[in-house]
Chains A and B, each alone.
Chain A
């Protein structure tokens, strides 16, 4: 393979942050390419600083490079100044490890974590020198694969990608490599691209859009069916789930960048999955069941990671880290580890809203008490029952009280607006809650500030809210103004909001069907890259593109879907039964909340029961504070398929409040 470095180097004198393009991170590999080796270019379609920390991409990078028959390098979206320099100098997209031209790789694989980056995906395919349309690619062209959360509705990208991979990537990436290797010619290129794609479509968890026909209803124009074109192609693609996180202690060599990036610290994943059941949360729904990493492995990964990287901060990551069953002893043992000499700080990126959690936070942030963040999401108890974020007002106040009394002076609260059934009373409840928090803080310090950060809700696929028509830009803007006006007289309270226009644009791709591809392409061809970045986001591009292709925001984003609607992702499964999601949607409308299924009877959502996997937890005792600290009745355990980790943490898990200990029967063969 060739190196483009001598052509890249002269460009770097004239661009911002040139070190984005040099590679050389600790942990970066120089894999060997060769005749029997499938080469992968792993791409994150946003800037280096945003993309480098992505753990999913780093895990695949290591797993592939461990194989003798695979070689993986990385690249990120060049910033607009670099892209212009590259295009005018005729330099194509390149990898950071060997500065190799992207077109020389066999596979170009994207991690997709947000919809607004789709135009960057097209741009990168183009910058790589590949035909943007999948159907125009030949035996000589790379295969384009996408994975990540957005892969659960890949239809808007169906024209541009060769396949989408659903769920955990650890196992399936090897299976993909096996298939690719069979079709790879020793001189690069494929023996038969069409046959390769058909073979890939048979790998569980892999969806190949070109192997499916799409039909539309002649009168309504709505989607009628998506059906396999070949007898061997599955009608429905199920996501992949790794049963045991402990078997995958990755990344082992987390990349340490030369320049500052977001989340610039050691990251160790505590567990995957979440059973809180927040109905707006796609991440929580599509990653079930809960699979905890053994506490001992967490400690080892933290210790060896800090030693290897020299970082002084470690984040224990997951969707709700305080719910890890061994959280307290784990955190304590990291802080008290003598090799950390008291200079290591631990962060839990997702705090639960209760005083217990604040106690843990106080323990780990002994020195840097800057700000604490909580996410009540809804302004009233009614609203929070609809979205199933079962935080009582007193839990929030107790948490905030604990925070202010222990030295924090800034609290940030996350809320959503534009939720199903939301009334103005619910919206204004946000200001009411936040103002109370300011009052509580005043008891401890004069200068406390509370920031309420408000996002416009965009319904996501594979959640109970996938049928909900999202609020219009006008409606979201009206609610933002309501909040702004109500908050104005409150000293110490700041409202920040996400641009309602961006929520609308996100909604186009979030639940769109294959026809949205033309819209994305239109926006890209009119210069609309980096749409995640407010300085480049332009709603006018999106509305013009919709109009040019006979579509509208009303139909694509604002329309409520019904039970009988064929959804563009119905043939793809995150393990959740459609019936369960529909029932949960009706429960939401009835303001009926569901408790965490780890400690209460199973609701048969499908994630565990249908697939022979189960929750894997380290402790039989629910974390102190209970479910969101609500004092949820925990005495009803016993029916959840749970497997206990063999090596439970040695330190006794904290007792549940009121001394309620629950014994859960382990089921299954484990």
Chain B
């Protein structure tokens, strides 16, 4: 039997990595004496699979975990799904919040392969709203957005533009409270995961590239030094994944919806994350 969980990862815990979260779940399952199925071989491990890896430092309101229970054990049949979140919740560290647990039916595919895009809210520092507005516009109009990133230890130049499915500023008053100077702004983005996912930091690098282009255009004599940005560069301050999406036949759905999914959840998420 396979069980799919939906959970949030928020607060200080965002500084832990994906492998760390996996180990937290393993320990919680063992403490709850759930009859986990183990892999065969020299190092038997429980069979846990997560959705797309969340970068260390980012929060999420939409993490998923599939876990396989051992059908040959009698306890498996008597596992009470409804009670699982309350049973496991206290066994997980503060910052992991279980939101749903269902039996994953056979037709549900693997999380890693099927996720097509993710929605994010982010908080950027170092730019004002009008400046950021300009950068977002420039990115959405651009044919390509080239950034340098690391792949398998090598530096490569990639075009981000095809992966940016949506990008907008968030209208919220939170900004003023965090930074009275008005140079902290919230954005929402939907980023494709195929063929390669785009991380929040990479999107911000793309926005910074837009700023550089803008400055070069307005100051052709500039020597390219960092001081050449009269308006400063956007810096990623916080990021929170709000959704992971599976697109099938033109329809976008979540691997497991929250039962009481409120409208405007992304905005709510941003405020909570901030």
Contact = CB atoms under 8 A, between A and B. Distances in A.
B15 A309 contact: no
Contacts of A23: 12
B20 interface: yes
A661 B253 CA distance: 73
Interface residues of A, number: 26
Contacts of B30: 306, 310-312, 343
Contacts of B91: 310
B6 to A, nearest CB: 21
B17 A307 contact: no
Given A13-B57, A367-B44, A260 B27 contact: no
Interface string B154-184: 0000000000000000000000000000000
A307 B33 CA distance: 9
Contacts of A308: 31
Contacts, number: 64
A24 B43 contact: no
Contacts of B29: 310
A307 B15 contact: no
Contacts of A13: 57, 236-237
Contacts of B26: 310, 312
B28 interface: yes
B213 interface: no
B24 interface: yes
B151 interface: no
B15 A12 contact: yes
B30 to A, nearest CB: 4
A336 B236 CA distance: 52
A368 B42 contact: yes
A367 B39 CA distance: 12
Interface string A345-370: 00000000000000000000001111
Contacts of B31: 307-310
A256 interface: yes
Interface string A280-323: 00000000000000000000000000111111100000000000
Contacts of B16: 19, 22, 258-259
A304 to B, nearest CB: 12
A26 interface: yes
A310 B31 CA distance: 5
A186 interface: no
A12 B27 contact: no
Contacts of A22: 12-13, 15-16
B27 A311 contact: yes
A18 interface: yes
A310 B32 CA distance: 8
B20 A259 contact: yes
A18 B237 CA distance: 15
A259 B17 contact: yes
A310 B236 CA distance: 36
Grouping DSSP codes into helix (H, G, I), strand (E, B) and loop, the A interface class, with mixed when no group exceeds half, is loop
B28 A24 contact: no
Contact of B43 (A256, A258, A309, A368): A368
Nearest to A307: B31
A18 B93 contact: no
A258 B27 contact: no
Nearest to A15: B15
B27 A256 contact: yes
Interface in B30-66: 30-31, 33, 38, 42-44, 56-57
Nearest to A5: B12
A309 B16 CA distance: 18
Given A367-B43, A367-B44, A368-B42, A310 B19 contact: no
Interface in A1-48: 12-13, 18-19, 21-24, 26
Contacts of B33: 339
Contacts of B12: 22-24
Given A13-B57, A18-B57, A310-B30, A260 B19 contact: yes
A24 B94 contact: yes
A94 to B, nearest CB: 13
Given A18-B57, A310-B91, A367-B43, A260 B20 contact: yes
Nearest to B19: A260
Interface in B78-128: 91, 93-95
Interface in A368-389: 368-370
A630 B33 CA distance: 44
B149 interface: no
Contact of A260 (B23, B56, B236): B23
B13 A24 contact: yes
Interface residues of B, number: 28
A308 B32 CA distance: 10
Nearest to B29: A310
Nearest to B41: A367
Contacts of B15: 12, 18-19, 21-22
Nearest to A22: B12
A258 B27 CA distance: 11
A126 to B, nearest CB: 26
Nearest to B31: A310
Contacts of B94: 24
B57 A12 contact: yes
B24 A258 contact: yes
Nearest to B26: A310
Given A19-B16, A256-B27, A310-B27, A26 B44 contact: no
B93 A258 contact: yes
Contacts of B236: 13
A313 to B, nearest CB: 11
Contacts of A18: 15, 56-57
Contacts of A369: 42
A12 B236 CA distance: 13
Nearest to A18: B15
Given A310-B31, A367-B44, A26 B93 contact: yes
Contact of B44 (A259, A260, A343): A343
Which of A22, A310, A339, A343 counts the most chain B CB atoms within 10 A?
Answer: A310
Contacts of A312: 26, 30
A508 B57 CA distance: 42
Max chain A C-beta neighbours (<10 A), residue from B12, B31, B42, B91: B12
A19 B20 contact: yes
B225 to A, nearest CB: 21
B153 to A, nearest CB: 16
A85 to B, nearest CB: 14
| A13, A26, A339, A370 pick with most chain B CB within 10 angstroms | A13
A575 to B, nearest CB: 40
Interface string B1-16: 0000000000011011
A24 B19 contact: no
Nearest to B27: A310
Instruction: Give the interface centre of B13, B30, B33, B42 by most chain A CB atoms within 10 Å.
Output: B30
A445 to B, nearest CB: 15
A255 B19 CA distance: 19
Interface string A470-487: 000000000000000000
Contacts of A343: 30, 38, 44
Interface in A412-460: none
Contacts of A260: 19-20, 23
A370 B28 CA distance: 27
Contact of B13 (A12, A258, A306, A368): A258
Nearest to A344: B30
A475 B27 CA distance: 49
Interface in A235-266: 256, 258-260
B48 to A, nearest CB: 13
Nearest to A339: B33
7 contacts: A13-B57, A22-B12, A22-B13, A259-B17, A310-B26, A310-B30, A367-B42
Nearest 9 Cβ contacts at the A-B interface = A310-B27, A18-B15, A310-B31, A310-B30, A22-B12, A19-B15, A19-B16, A259-B20, A258-B16
Given A12-B15, A18-B57, A311-B27, 7 more contacts: A13-B236, A18-B56, A22-B16, A24-B93, A260-B20, A308-B31, A310-B31
